[in-house]
Amino acid sequence: MSGWVTVAGLGPGDEALVTDEVRAAIAGATDIVGYIPYVARIAPRDGLTLHPTDNRVELDRANHALDMAAAGRRVVVVSSGDPGVFAMASALFEALETRPDPDASDIRILPGITAMLAAAARLGAPLGHDFCAINLSDNLKPWDLIEHRLRLAAQAGFAMAWYNPRSRSRPHQFARALEILREELPEKTLISFARAVTTPEESIQTVPLAKATPDMADMRTVVIVGTAATRRVGRWVYTPRSAG
């Protein structure tokens, strides 16, 4: 039996948004590897072994997947959203760098709908012009670097999608991120909070920056910061493509 590793995106939460390509990979897998809540989305069946692990062992998870594939297993590493957006695809390739023959591994990366795109679609088109995505977690990079990037993105006029904005262990950091926006952007700038998008717990609100508060976000929230040109039309929020 020839082994392989597929890193697959499960989308933002609604099972209808999982692609057929990802479903086929899961159906052909002998092993599923991933963070505990993502593996929990996979239905058990005969011949399939589930390997749920903690969120802070990405490289261990990637090496385990590569080892199993080398032994002939068919492994799917699952991520929420898209595996290439703050997720497991990068970790897998980082682990692959330590292997003597990287090209010997049969690897596929299957895209999924990432949370910022699902949130943007619910809102309208807030990312309709130039934008960037920034992970506010400082688990893998220093907070001062995050602050620097936030400030430059605001000065450059990018719309922004923020992942992992506010956890219980670092609530003060999101408050600081809002302070930076207020130092660089007009108070009327629209900021949207999309929590648990596409799931039954979904909630979405858009407010002017002046009215944004830290408690509007948690780790299940994607925050979308508009530009000076972002505006409302009826219940929708969009950034025109003609913006400077």
Using the predicted structure, report yes or no on whether residue 189 has a pLDDT greater than 80. Answer: yes
* 68 & 149 share domain: no
Q: Which of 113, 148, 169 is the last residue of a domain?
A: 113
Q: How many CB atoms lie within 10 A of CB 131?
A: 19
- Among 113, 135, 154, identify where a domain stops: 113
Quote the pLDDT of residue 244: 59
Report which of residues 1 and 48 the model is more confident about: 48
The reported pTM is 0.91
Average pLDDT score over the chain = 94
Asked whether the CA dihedral 35, 40, 41, 47 is positive or negative, the reply is positive
Q: Are 81 and 114 in contact (CB under 8 A)?
A: yes
Number of neighbouring beta carbons within 10 Å of residue 52: 16
Q: Is 38 exposed, middle or buried (0-12, 13-18, 19+ CB in 10 A)?
A: buried
Let me know whether 49 and 69 are in one domain.
yes
Assess whether 33 and 98 both reside in one domain. yes
User: What pLDDT digit, counting tens, does each position of 126-183 carry?
Assistant: 999 999 999 999 888 999 999 999 999 999 999 999 999 987 777 789 999 999 999 9
Query: Within 71-216, where are the H helices?
Result: 88-96, 115-123, 143-156, 171-184
CATH classification of the domain holding 58 = 3.40.1010.10
Residues 86-124 pLDDT 10s: 999 999 999 999 998 888 889 999 999 999 999 999 999
Radius of gyration of the chain (CA): 19
Q: Which amino acid is at 80?
A: S
For 67, the domain range is 4-113
According to DSSP, the β-strands at 124-125 and 236-238 are: parallel
Residue 222 lies in a domain: yes
Do the domain assignments include residue 12?
yes
Is residue 43 included in any domain, yes or no? yes
| 96 in any annotated domain | yes
Same domain (yes/no): 193, 226:
yes
21: number of Cβ within 10 Å = 14
Query: Could you tell me if residue 243 is inside a domain?
Result: no
Which of 79, 113, 147 terminates a domain? The answer is 113
pLDDT at 82 over 70: yes
Residue 46 located in a structural domain: yes
**Same domain, yes or no: 103 and 155:** no
My answer on whether 55 and 149 are in the same domain is no
